[in-house]
Amino acid sequence: MAFNLFHSKTSQIGIDIGTSAIKIVELTNENKRWSLLNYGIFRIHGGDAMPDGRQGSSDTSQSILNLPEEEIAKNISVTIQSAGIKSKSAIASISSFSTFATVIEMPYVSEEDLAKTIPFEARKYVPVPLDQVILDWSIVGVADKAVQPSPSGTSVEVFLAAVPKDETAKYQRIMRLAGIELKALELENSSLIRALLGNDLSPTAIVNIGGRSTTILIVSRGYERVNHTYEIGGYEMTMAASKGLDSTLAEAEEYKRTKGLIAGNNDSAHEAIARVVDTIIQEIQRTIQPYEDTRDQKVERVVFVGGVSDTPGLLEYVKGKLGRDVLMGNVFARLQYPSELTPIVGSLSNTLAIAVGAALRES
């Protein structure tokens, strides 16, 4: 789902402005095959931002989203210049914290009638006045179990999305200041789904673990059906390890990055991190189970992504507790990329997933 702002035939740049980093990727599409041309990462380090790919600190007192627009634009420009990115045309993802999305079921008569009806129906779901948002929608497919009868006897599922107008205007200003032609704004979850699942329509849970929060998505037919975000992530894991080790945050971060949840490390730090991860596992179960019960549809796999997902031993630990197929997401599975990047593709996939998904969107 994207909000078209300008008309253009191609898109080569994807931009993801996160809380602690700006991620930019440049892709090209040749012979119907996407290839990575370049990428750049701009991270905040304890109040100082640096245009490189190093692991950021656990200090959450600073956030890129809280910086002045001029400074965000400057950081984007510096990243593009440092990475040698040539294109100036981009699609940017917008944080799920700022947006609303859901799938609703409606009787189907015609798209013209739906277009007239949806704004009225949307008032039941969108938590702010509709005159304050940009509303977009698309038909997902025919409803499996029609709840609302229609003259045609058919009900359809409609993906409904809303983005505040002030957020849209903010992104437009930032990109203009950065010298970027903003072709579209896209919901970050839509970018993530495209990057990880492509054309796979089977029910899947995506767990995006970041530094400050964890988002759990249930995806079916290529659209998010459930979206829950919890204020727990890598920072809480580092804090727990610090208490377990009686160490500094920097030392605890190093422990998490190198040892994490590797089986056999049954020390106090390992146990402390495990308790945090157990909380995330509980939230995954609480998200998946109601969906399966109400939809009578099995979620066969859980795909992990995000900067914390490559914590050693994490996936094995979750799989043992969850009893489901647990996989690491790989956005580069559908991309050609320089062989020199092979040793770090896993780490890059977690970091650049949303930016890659945005860049993969074809206008």
Class of domain 98-164: alpha beta
How many residues make up the chain in this entry?
Answer: 363
Question: What is each CA distance from 142 to 147, 155, 342, in whole angstroms?
Answer: 12, 6, 41
SS (H, E, C) 10-27: CCCEEEEECCCEEEEEEE
Per-residue confidence (pLDDT) for residue 62, from 0 to 100: 57
**Residues 2-97+166-198+331-360, CATH architecture:** 2-Layer Sandwich (3.30)
| Listed residue (359, 361, 363, 289) closest to 25, CA to CA | 359
**Beta carbons within 8 Å of 282's beta carbon, 6+ residues apart:** none
Structure tokens at 172: 């437009």
All CATH 3.30.420.40 domain ranges in the chain, comma separated: 2-97+166-198+331-360, 204-328
**pLDDT confidence of residue 363:** 58
Cβ-contact 196, 305 below 8 angstroms: yes
Sequential pLDDT tens for the chain (363 residues): 444 444 334 548 999 998 788 999 999 988 788 999 999 999 875 444 444 433 333 344 457 878 999 999 999 999 999 999 989 999 999 988 788 999 998 887 788 888 899 999 999 999 899 999 999 999 888 876 544 445 556 789 999 999 999 999 999 999 999 999 999 999 999 999 999 998 888 999 999 998 888 999 999 989 999 999 888 999 999 999 999 999 999 999 999 999 999 987 778 999 999 999 999 999 999 999 999 998 888 998 999 998 899 899 999 999 999 989 999 999 999 899 989 999 999 889 988 999 999 999 975
What's the pLDDT score for residue 60?
Answer: 41
CATH (one of 3.40.50.261, 3.40.250.10, 3.30.420.40, 3.30.70.3150) for 204-328:
3.30.420.40
Which residues of the chain does CATH 3.30.1490.300 include?
98-164
